[in-house]
Amino acid sequence: MPQLTLSRRQFLGGAAAAVAAFTIVPRHVLGGEGYIPPSESVGAALIGCGGRGPGTFQGLGPNAVRLASCDVQWVGSTDDKTRYTDFRRVLERKDIDVVAIATPPHWHTLISIAAMQAGKDVLCEKPATRFIAEGRALVEAEKRYGRIYQVGTFGRYGACRDRNAILQHKIFRSGLLKNCEAVHFWKGGCKVKEWSGLINAKPQPVPKNLDWDMYCGPAPLRPYHPHRIGGTHRGYWDYEGGGLSDMGQHHFDPAQWTLGKDDTSPVEVDSYAPPAHPEVVGMWGWVELKYADGLTIVMDSTEWGKPYDRKQPRDVRLEDLSEEDRKTVLAMPDPEPMVEFPDAVKTRKKTGGHAEAAHRAATILHLANISIRVGRKIRFDPVKEEIVADPEADRLVHQPMRAPWHL
């Protein structure tokens, strides 16, 4: 066999080429521990960069690379080409795959639907909606555009791993429980006083760096006051529903899954509260919500009036079923593990907090607030999603939007 000989020049040239080939493939391209290769990253945008913005964006997962940020109020220069004040310009970008939405709730549904229509997957802050009819539009958009949607509350992921919660979930989903006597309580933690609004606040000049018209968006264009933006926006019906809406989806998202109510809503809602202001969220004592199967959920704010004393807390138990039905429930397979947002984006499977579940959880909060606002018991049809025989209350289910915004 003839020997292969290399001149010094040939050897050095080959070595240099090898070094060059190695150096043009940096570590972040190859991937591995601590590095995400571009092939696995997703282009992401944050819409609403206030207090909840960074936390919401984090829920997109470690593969999300922020390419754009949008807010109606910027501090400092806006020359940065990744900064926007109009979310529609963000959604036009073809390099954006997923969006995190951390605006006040009066924008949640419209931006979520527009994002899904533009081919983006959506992680949205809670509550999912500002009023009930928005929720059905959100669900239909998720189906129509085939996108991934997740509401930004993750308590249900813990519930689906809890053995007691799984057992209760099976009992309710079996359909074998009749005339349910269970009563679930939520006491305190509502931030009722903290997120109450200001009555007769004097209008103030709009800051130069704030697009107030865009902030209001589908809500009425009220005179500007700083209490209407930031976290205190929760104290005004235009944008949210007080501490109940702020904290409620955290509490009821896991409870709703445990109680097997992801596809229905309460049928009767009663409340105890002082007369409500038409624009400003105020104090309330308790709300009682009853489902068609008899299950009762009670919210006791502990911040106003006398405490709730109609019923005592009680979990559903296997003993509530006949011996034969108990065996049926125990033989039921465990529910499938819930898919979290980053995995759902990859696999195209629904998340645990998909639009229907998010809508039904928000509906609990909206029904509670409607009863508080009209000052009486209301009855709700969970199939038609309408309040029965009460036109005044039903108008709060289907609320108008300021032109040109609409569902």
- pLDDT tens, residue by residue, 152-187: 887 899 999 999 999 999 999 999 998 899 999 999
**Residues making up the chain, counted from first to last:** 407
pLDDT at 34: 53
In a domain, 194, yes or no: yes
Residues 239 and 328 in one domain: yes
Which parts of the chain register pLDDT below 70?
1-37, 76-79
- Residue 44, φ and ψ in degrees, nearest 5: -130, 155
The answer to whether 211 touches 72, Cβ cutoff 8 Å, is yes
CA 48 to CA 109: how far, in whole Å?
A: 14
pLDDT at 2: 38
CATH number of the domain encompassing residue 81: 3.40.50.720
Residues 255 and 110 in one domain: no
pTM of the predicted structure, to 2 decimals: 0.90
CATH number of the domain encompassing residue 285: 3.30.360
Number of independent structural domains in the chain: 2
Residues 176 and 312 in one domain: yes
| Structural domain range at position 108 | 30-155
CA 241 to CA 234: how far, in whole Å?
A: 6
pLDDT at 178: 86
Residues 105 and 183 in one domain: no
Residues 216 and 149 in one domain: no
pLDDT at 19: 38
pLDDT at 153: 84
- Determine the angle formed by the axes of helices 108-117 and 132-145, rounding to 10 degrees: 10
In a domain, 45, yes or no: yes
Residues 35 and 133 in one domain: yes
pLDDT at 28: 45
Residues 136 and 278 in one domain: no
pLDDT at 81: 83
pLDDT at 80: 82
